[in-house]
Amino acid sequence: MSNPELSVEEAYRAMFYFLEHTYHQDVADGFETEMATLPWRILESARGTVDPIAWQDWLNAVAKAKTIPENVWTLVH
């Protein structure tokens, strides 16, 4: 995914979708465990989250926020 520009509302919805997905996926591990995978790192050999899957989950949440019309979101949630 390229660098999409998000409105403030789209960014909020992306965060909501990401946390909702994380909650449903990792209920057994707990929220604290999942949060430990999110720090951003910048190393010579890599740049991204500690857990690459978390980054993909974030990109999916951004894509979802960009594709669901704003007026539909209020009806769904």
- Give CA separation, 8 vs 12, 14, 48, 52, 65, in Å: 6, 10, 23, 25, 11
Give the pLDDT of the chain (77 residues) as one tens digit per residue. Answer: 555 688 888 888 898 888 888 777 765 566 677 667 677 776 666 677 777 888 888 899 999 988 877 666 554 55
Q: Is the pTM of this model over 0.75?
A: no
* pLDDT in the model for residue 50: 76
73 membership: H or E segment, kind and range: helix 70-76
Domain boundaries, the chain: 8-76
The 3-class secondary structure across 37-51, one letter per residue, is CCCEEECCCCEEECC
pLDDT score at 66: 87
